Amino acid sequence: MECTCEMRLTPLRRLLFGYAGVAALIVVIGVVTRTCTLHTASFGEADSFIRMNPIVTTKLGPIDATSLRSSKFEMCRQGGSCARFEITAIGHAARGVARVELHKGASGWEVTSARLILPNGETVLLK
């Protein structure tokens, strides 16, 4: 006995599946865009803080390059967004790891705390 049962999509079902696919794609694009925007602005603030901090340049020398090791974004307890970065800073004299925490308020991203971990394990409070 042959089964001649076929699952056929009616034109209305095809249209609904098409709309669902487009809606899902729009949501994904929105989430990715928001994440990239948050990441770019907050990382830029953290990177500038490291490069222009006199304590960092005293310990590592003028900064040649930075490299993102890790990042985390979350909603802050006091409202708004918070970001944490672990950034490798490579200076003329040495290399270190900076851990920078930021909060996004009405005026933009602001560094709330930062510390520098030197190659010998010493931790220096930056803010």
Residue 97, sorted as left (phi over 0), alpha (psi -120 to 50) or beta, turns out to be beta
What does the pLDDT read at residue 32?
57
CATH class of 43-125: alpha beta
Backbone φ and ψ of 41, nearest 5°: -65, -45
What amino acid is encoded at 3 in this protein?
C
Number of neighbouring beta carbons within 10 Å of residue 6? 5
Quick one: DSSP state of residue 74? E
What does the pLDDT read at residue 97?
98
User: d(Cα 84, Cα 88) in Å, to the nearest integer?
Assistant: 13
Residue ranges per domain, the chain? 43-125
pTM, 2 dp: 0.69
pLDDT along the chain (127 residues), means of 10: 58 72 69 55 93 96 92 84 94 96 89 96 96
Which three-class secondary structure state does DSSP give residue 123?
strand
What does the pLDDT read at residue 22?
74
What does the pLDDT read at residue 31?
57
User: d(Cα 31, Cα 35) in Å, to the nearest integer?
Assistant: 6
Place of tokens 């930021």: 102
What does the pLDDT read at residue 105?
82
For residue 105, CA distances in Å to 1, 36, 52, 60, 108 come to 70, 18, 22, 31, 5
